[in-house]
C-alpha cells in the first residue's frame, strides 16, 4: 500500500526553536521587553527579539548580574520569547534583556557569547517584572 512506511511523512520533525517564526529576516538586531507580571513567578516573556544571526535573549539585573538566558533562537524575528528563571523571581525586579550571539555555536549561552551591538550600543530593553 503506498504511503505506508515510505518514510516520507513519518518522523520528519523540525526543531521549531531553530526556525525563524516567519520569513522576515532582520538586518538590525532589536528587542522589545515590556513591564509584566510573571504568571508562575519563574517565566519572563520578551515580546519580540530580532536576531539577524540567531542567539539568545539574556536577562540581567540592572547591576549587570546574570539572571538567566533563553533557549537558542534561530536567525529571524521571534515573538514572545520565554526565559525561565530557575531560582524564581524575587519581588518586583527591574530586569535588562540583552541580545547575545551564540558566538561559539554550541547551542547554549556561555560567557564567550558576545552581546549584539547596534551603533556601538548593546541591544537591550528594560522592564519591571512582578512576581505576584
Q: Which residues make up the interface to Ca ion (CB under 5 A)?
A: 102, 104, 106, 110, 113
Question: Least distance from C-beta 15 to Ca ion, angstroms?
Answer: 16
Question: Least distance from C-beta 36 to Ca ion, angstroms?
Answer: 27
Question: Least distance from C-beta 71 to Ca ion, angstroms?
Answer: 12
Residue among 89 and 99 whose Cβ is closer to Ca ion: 99
Long-range CB pairs of 114-123, under 8 A, 24+ apart, other chains included: 115/58, 116/29, 116/51, 116/55, 118/28, 118/29, 118/30, 122/98, 123/29, 123/30, 123/31, 123/98, 123/99
Q: Phi and psi (nearest 5°) for 16? A: -60, -30
User: What is the C-alpha to C-alpha distance for residues 21 and 90, in angstroms, rounded to an integer?
Assistant: 31
Question: Least distance from C-beta 54 to Ca ion, angstroms?
Answer: 11
Residue among 61 and 104 whose Cβ is closer to Ca ion: 104
Residue among 88 and 112 whose Cβ is closer to Ca ion: 112
Residue among 90 and 111 whose Cβ is closer to Ca ion: 111
Amino acid at each position: 500500500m503506498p504511503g505506508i512506511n515510505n518514510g516520507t511523512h513519518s518522523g520528519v520533525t523540525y526543531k521549531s526553536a531553530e526556525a525563524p517564526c516567519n520569513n522576515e529576516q532582520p538586518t538590525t538586531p532589536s528587542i522589545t521587553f515590556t513591564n509584566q507580571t510573571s504568571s508562575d513567578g519563574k517565566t519572563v516573556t520578551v515580546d519580540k527579539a530580532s536576531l539577524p544571526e540567531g542567539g539568545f535573549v539574556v536577562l540581567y539585573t540592572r547591576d549587570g548580574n546574570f539572571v538567566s538566558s533563553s533557549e537558542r533562537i534561530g536567525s529571524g524575528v521571534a515573538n514572545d520569547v520565554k526565559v525561565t528563571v530557575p531560582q524564581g523571581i524575587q519581588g518586583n525586579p527591574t530586569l535588562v534583556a540583552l541580545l547575545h550571539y551564540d558566538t561559539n555555536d554550541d547551542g547554549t549561552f556561555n560567557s564567550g557569547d558576545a552581546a549584539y551591538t547596534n551603533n556601538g550600543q548593546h541591544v537591550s530593553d528594560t522592564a519591571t517584572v512582578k512576581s505576584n
